[in-house]
Amino acid sequence: MQVFAFNLSPFRFNLSAYLTVWPFNKKTTIAASGILAGAADHHSHILPGVDDGVETMNEALRILATYETLGIKELWLTPHIMEDIPNTPEKLMECFARLKAAYTGTVELHLAAEYMIDNNLRKLLNDNKALLPIGTASKHILVETSYYNAPIRMNETLQQIKSMGYFPLLAHPERYIYLDNDEYLKLHNEGVKFQLNLASLAGGYGTTVKKRALWLLSNGLYSVAGSDLHCEEAVEFITKFNLDKQTIEQVERLLHNSI
């Protein structure tokens, strides 16, 4: 019986090379991608004991330690100021001073606030009260609305913010179901800037919000991104969901943008 010998060496299967081009390997997590190195988180509720976010100093310090391992450079603490949570700049600055005294790590901490567009904000604006702006130039005011209905006199309030020399930065616009694509474009063209919630891309608020976030992202309507972090358990969820290469690159731009 004749035996045939085949030299299979030229056809050796290179599994690692195969995986680099196979479609299911084209996604990666935000944490694994490396885009968090030097990044800035422009929305968080980590300042302890002031709103519906982190409650204790120890939890805040654990989150900050995790941020260090992820390579995050800057964190904006943006506690709520609204009719239901009537924080004042003075109170928040006192709490911020305590956090800075307790934290000895490398993440740069900044204090701002997230303002609900409501009667409380209009009163602050009308009385020319001091606000807690966000951004390196202190020229932006982070604002939010109800998820379901536009607030009364929304456009008037946004114009008043601009008349005081600030740019409105609309927190997580993808979550506002009362807005459609044309209204997003109108707000953007009128000088309102948008902040992306990372959890929106993970489907954390449902598929409709995720689709809106991807549309806003693909059309270049966001200026910055944030975690909107309220608790320690959310860190892993926000950083370990899969995104394709193009989306990762778009998110990287936001995480490294300055306003």
What does the pLDDT look like over 180-214, one tens digit per residue?
A: 999 999 999 999 999 999 999 999 999 999 999 99
Number of structural domains in the chain? 1
Residue 16 forms part of a structural domain: no
CB 173 within 8 A of CB 194: yes
The whole-number pLDDT of residue 3 equals 38
Cα separation, 57 vs 165, in Å, equals 34
Residue 156 forms part of a structural domain: yes
**Per-residue pLDDT band at 123 (split at 50, 70, 90):** very high
Residue 245 forms part of a structural domain: yes
CATH of the domain at 67: 3.20.20.140
Phi-psi region of 229 (alpha: psi -120 to 50; beta: other; left: phi over 0): beta
Is the pTM for the entire model greater than 0.85?
yes
Work out the average pLDDT over 89-106: 98
The whole-number pLDDT of residue 98 equals 98
Residue 2 forms part of a structural domain: no
Distances (CA, A) of 231 to 59, 62, 164, 175: 8, 10, 34, 19
Residue 184 forms part of a structural domain: yes
Residue 19 forms part of a structural domain: no
Residue 155 forms part of a structural domain: yes
Residues 6 or more apart from 232 whose CB is under 8 A from it?
54, 59, 62, 63, 66
Residue 14 forms part of a structural domain: no
High-pLDDT (> 90) share of the chain, %: 90
What does the pLDDT look like over 139-184, one tens digit per residue?
A: 999 999 999 999 999 999 999 999 999 999 999 999 999 999 999 9
Work out the average pLDDT over 230-250: 96
Distances (CA, A) of 126 to 143, 155, 161, 190, 200: 16, 15, 10, 21, 34
The whole-number pLDDT of residue 26 equals 81
Cα separation, 7 vs 11, in Å, equals 9
Cα separation, 191 vs 46, in Å, equals 28
Work out the average pLDDT over 123-128: 95
Mean of all residue pLDDT scores within the chain? 91
Which one-letter DSSP state was computed for residue 47? S
Q: Which residue range(s) make up the domain with 136?
A: 27-255
